[in-house]
Amino acid sequence: MKTQAWLHAFRLRTLPLALACIAMAGFLAAAADKFDPILFALCCLTTILLQVLSNLANDYGDSQNGADHDGRKGPLRAVQSGVISSSQMLKAVIIFALLSLVCGLLLLWFSFGTNWQAFALFFGLGLLSIAAAIGYTVGKRPYGYIGLGDISVLIFFGLVGVMGSYYLFTHSITWKELLPALSCGLFSIAVLNINNIRDIESDRSAGKFSIPVRIGKENAVKYHWVLLLGGLLSAIGYTLLHYTSPWQFLFLLTLPLFIKNGLSIHHRAAEELDPFLKQMALSTLLFVLLFGIGLIL
């Protein structure tokens, strides 16, 4: 029972989304003949640890700040259920923060060696990533409660996740990598947006002012379409700038999945939205895989 509760708290279904940005960076590096499998594995491991850290911190923080209560529409959380205590969850948060730090240091050493300037810069980004994972819902003024979660997701699942990881492979970057980074970031925000639309009522009562709470469901659905369209247009823009083959548009095969997701969010009640979190996350991963395959064919 306890093992199952911990696995549930890890929220393994969120890992494909977290790995999507690393996969995008890996494909971009492969297209530039700079791919390294060991470096890729370390990027994936660090990202998994950070995502689990974020999930555990979210479980702990929402239980402390009142967002997890009986009126919440989503799945029952570990601390909320009472199977795992707050103190046990806090210890797990600390453990995964330390694991993320150690793995991140190993990743930076493998990438930069004794290039201390680059090492220090990315070490700072790593510390910010850990702080962001914890600070989303933990503390007296968690930034997720004032509507800054979307910006954080864009930064860490898009800009840092894709462009930062790409730099670890290549030690160089151009503004053009911003476009696939935006695709991953905007699709990741769409996953968060579904979660926040589902939890509008419970979040409002807990004083958690996410974007959907601030603008209402109708406008949040319009915002969702903007995120989906923005992600696709960013990928199309990058492809046009690097066009060599029709295979590069292979990612457009995921278009029906994103349309289905947008229509489902528009027509479904809040308590019916949970499956579309997983659908959006898996659609994003498939998008990245097809984008990458088309890039290297």
Please say if the pLDDT value at position 75 is more than 70. no
Given the structure tokens 């999507």, which residue do they identify?
20
Number of domains in the chain: 1
Range(s) of the domain holding residue 111:
2-296
**Whether the predicted pLDDT of 287 surpasses 80:** yes
Average pLDDT over residues 195-202: 92
What's residue 65's pLDDT?
Answer: 66
Q: Check if the beta carbon of residue 247 is closer than 8 Å to that of residue 288.
A: no
168 pLDDT higher than 60: yes
CB neighbour burial string for 268-293, b if at least 16 within 10 angstroms, e if fewer: bebeebbebbebbbebbbbbbbbbbe
Q: What integer pLDDT is reported at residue 267 of this predicted model?
A: 87
Q: What is the pTM of this model?
A: 0.92
